[in-house]
Amino acid sequence: MDTNLFDYELPPDRIAQSPATRRDASKLLVVNRLKGETSHHVFSELPDLLPTGSQLFRNVAAVLKARIHANLPTGGKVECLLLHPGENPRFWWCLVKPGRKLQPGKTFGLKGIFSATIQRKNEDGQCLVQFDYKEGRTVQELAEDVGQLPLPPYINRSNDPRQAKEDNERYQTVYANPTTKVAVAAPTAGLHFTQKLLTNLENRGFSFHDLLLHVGLGTFKPIQTEKLEEHPMHSEAYSIPPGTLAAMQQDAQRPRVAIGTTCVRTIEDALRKLPNKMIKTESFESEASLFLYPPENFMGVDALITNFHLPRSTLLCLVAAFLTPGSIDGIKWLKKIYAEALKKGYRFYSYGDAMLIL
């Protein structure tokens, strides 16, 4: 399939640079697939829009302060972005800048805090870095002390401490588990929820089921191949507890609503690997490298809450497939929906508005 089918024009001023004043004050475009209709709402209206008794699945991964600024022994500057752990706790795969100058054997660090040595590079330019720091700590704890949140490159930031403080709060979901800081990008569909909205949904009979996907940068990486089938899909580790597994496998009498594409990938990957209706008494752990694009079908998701995504991204492909499962018609329909969103003043990407597909 031609990758150009998933391209579209987006004016730069429609890329949200900051979140809505209140999380659930963002706009919400609702797509009714059965009727082929769209309507426009505010996210706080979600309890009135979801099917009665819906089960909501959410990714509780917290975003790690994965961007670390350090120094070379010569005084030059280095930026190190943590991606995922290597073979032992002190080794992490990272992206480092300036990449060409930082070859295996080179060192960098912050005096009195840590030092790091590049061990090797892979074909994607990622570096395996060994960190040396005070005993009894972890690389994640080090990052929380000296790192910054890895905001996407399309969000422009100065060194304003007030803006950094807001980002530290708003680029995390309110239900993120602080003990699982394993994501280098936020599961952005969840950014629209407030504690009040969560309580309201539960009081109305909706249930929540947690899972954990280690969101990586590959989630947002544009497809660079001419054909979708040639795209090397990234892999992300996940864990699903028994209660969530059971809810995933129930019949459609209680609609299953995925909060974000990360949940869709996790659920669909797990259901393709688990025997049908298998009941587990322990968490199911695996890695998802599932690429969902038209005309894919879906086994465990009946409705989707998502943001507006980058052109030529795997996320856009997933949403197009979900609009019309088993068909390629969702590609054209998605472009019409996005054009309508632009006309109505919706804001795009991580800090932007949301869409509910029923």
Q: What CATH fold (topology level) applies to the domain 67-146?
A: Thrombin, subunit H (2.40.10)
Q: Which CATH superfamily is domain 3-63+170-357 in?
A: QueA-like (3.40.1780.10)
> Residue 137 — very low, low, confident or very high, per pLDDT cuts 50/70/90?
confident
Q: Mean pLDDT over residues 282-302, rounded?
A: 95
Which pLDDT value is given to residue 164?
Answer: 87
| Segment holding 272, helix H or strand E | helix 261-273
Where are the chain's structural domains?
3-63+170-357, 67-146
Residue 352 pLDDT class (50, 70, 90 cuts): very high
- What is the structure's pLDDT at 277? 62
Per DSSP, the three-state class of 323 is helix
Strands across the sheet with 256-259, in order? 37-42, 27-32, 354-357, 303-307, 256-259, 55-59, 207-213, 236-240, 284-288
pTM, to two decimals: 0.94
pLDDT per residue as tens digits for the range 192-244:
999 999 999 999 999 999 999 999 877 777 899 999 999 988 889 999 999 99
Give 187's contacts (C-beta < 8 A, 6+ positions apart). Answer: 58, 59, 61, 173, 213, 215, 259, 260, 262, 263
**Mean pLDDT, residues 75-92:** 91
Residues 6+ apart with CB under 8 A from 214: 61, 84, 182, 183, 236, 237, 238
Write the pLDDT tens digit of every residue in 307-339.
999 999 999 999 999 999 999 999 999 999 999
